[in-house]
């Protein structure tokens, strides 16, 4: 059970979420440059950027919000990104129930200069985190920034900071 008393691993199963297994299909980040999937300092886990990409490398809803991608499609892309973040957490610490809190979520939404609903897009990620962990653990600080582009024309990216239970 997680710090909230919710069994996050069971919740993933109940929601029917299919998390990639980064021990079998490696984290895709190095395809875009020099990086590792995560870094842990004490009880704080820093995830590298996660994007709405399927294990086969296909992007979900590439393009710009306000031009090629609707708010609903952006929300769906952010939700897939959150699934990939959950996979990254599991890969880093072995069990989602070791998550004490999602401290911070920094979200990047690729959009046109006149698109002002970036907050609605990033809710696709944070809403899923709350579904899995409950509000006490799954809802942390959040910032969302509109940007002009991301690698491979992805429409969304998330950086996540997670407090985890100690190994003691």
Rounded average pLDDT over 33-54: 93
The reply to whether 100 falls in a domain is yes
Note the pLDDT of residue 3. 59
**What is the number of structural domains in the chain?**
1
Question: Most distant CA pair in the chain: distance in Å?
Answer: 50
3 part of a folded domain: no
Confidence of residue 41 (pLDDT cuts 50, 70, 90): very high
Average pLDDT, the chain: 94
Which one-letter DSSP state was computed for residue 42?
Answer: T
Report yes or no on 123 lying in a domain: yes
pLDDT tens digit sequence for 82-138: 999 999 999 999 999 999 999 999 999 999 999 999 999 999 999 999 999 999 999
What CATH number did the domain enclosing 116 receive?
3.30.1330.40
Q: Is residue 21 part of a domain?
A: no
| Residues 6+ positions from 163 with CB-CB distance below 8 Å | 43, 44, 45, 99, 100, 101, 102, 103
Percent of the chain with pLDDT over 70: 97
Q: How far apart are CA 161 and CA 146, in angstroms?
A: 20
Q: Is 152 contained in some domain?
A: yes
Domain residues for the domain of 68 are: 8-14+39-164
């Amino acid at each position: 059970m997680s710090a909230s008393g919710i069994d996050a691993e069971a919740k993933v199963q109940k929601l029917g979420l299919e998390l990639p297994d980064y021990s079998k299909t490696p984290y895709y980040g190095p395809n875009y440059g020099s990086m590792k999937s995560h870094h842990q300092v004490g009880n704080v886990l820093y995830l590298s950027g996660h994007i709405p990409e399927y294990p086969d490398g296909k992007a979900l809803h590439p393009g710009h919000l306000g031009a090629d991608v609707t708010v609903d499609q952006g929300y769906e892309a952010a939700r897939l990104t959150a699934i990939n973040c959950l996979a990254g957490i599991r890969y880093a610490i072995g069990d989602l129930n070791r998550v004490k809190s999602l401290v911070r979520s920094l979200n990047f939404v690729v959009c046109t200069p006149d698109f002002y609903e970036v907050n609605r897009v990033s809710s696709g990620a944070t809403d899923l985190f709350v579904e899995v962990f409950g509000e006490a653990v799954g809802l942390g600080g959040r910032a969302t920034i509109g940007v002009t582009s991301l690698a491979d024309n992805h429409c969304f990216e998330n950086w996540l900071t997670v407090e985890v239970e100690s190994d003691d």
